[in-house]
Amino acid sequence: MDAKPTLEELQQTLDAFSKARNWKQFHSIKNLSMALSVEVAELLELSQWATEAESNNPSEALLASYKDEAADVFIYLLMLAQKLDIDIIQAAIEKLEKNRKKYPTRET
């Protein structure tokens, strides 16, 4: 089995993919943010008219669509983070800590 790439390796792959197609010229913060928004909307659209039960039990075909759209969201988020020089994992850790303080459990 092939090893999964690290986040850094994935970002390098995305960078090479964009460079090979001369797309980096279009990857401004504004454009990447808008593209991310569009992809999130496409993800939302998959369950737009579904009931809670239906949305929690997707068919194989729908699950494949969720997978593709989630990947698109992730790709654009990584590209945006790279453009802004954000360590996305560190940012998530820091945000989770902020949320821990903002929303304490009953035990704390």
Residue pair 43/70 in contact (Cβ under 8 Å)? The answer is yes
Joined together, the tokens standing for residue 22 give 């001369």
Range of the domain at 95: 9-102
For 31-87, what is each residue's pLDDT tens digit? 999 999 999 999 999 999 999 999 999 999 999 999 999 999 999 999 999 999 999
What is the CA 3 to chain-centroid distance, rounded?
Answer: 21
Return the CATH number at 62. 1.10.287.1080
Residue 103, by phi and psi: left (phi above 0), alpha (psi -120 to 50) or beta?
A: beta
**Helices and strands (H, E) in the chain, number of each type:** 5, 0
Structure confidence at residue 106 as a pLDDT band (50, 70, 90): confident
- Does the residue 4 lie in any domain? no
- The closest alpha carbon to 72, from 17, 30, 35, 26, belongs to 35
- Does the residue 20 lie in any domain? yes
pTM: 0.90
Residue 108: its pLDDT value, please? 56
Residue 1: its pLDDT value, please? 54
Q: Please state, in angstroms and rounded to a whole number, the distance separating the CA atoms of residues 71 and 2.
A: 19
Amino acid at 48: Q
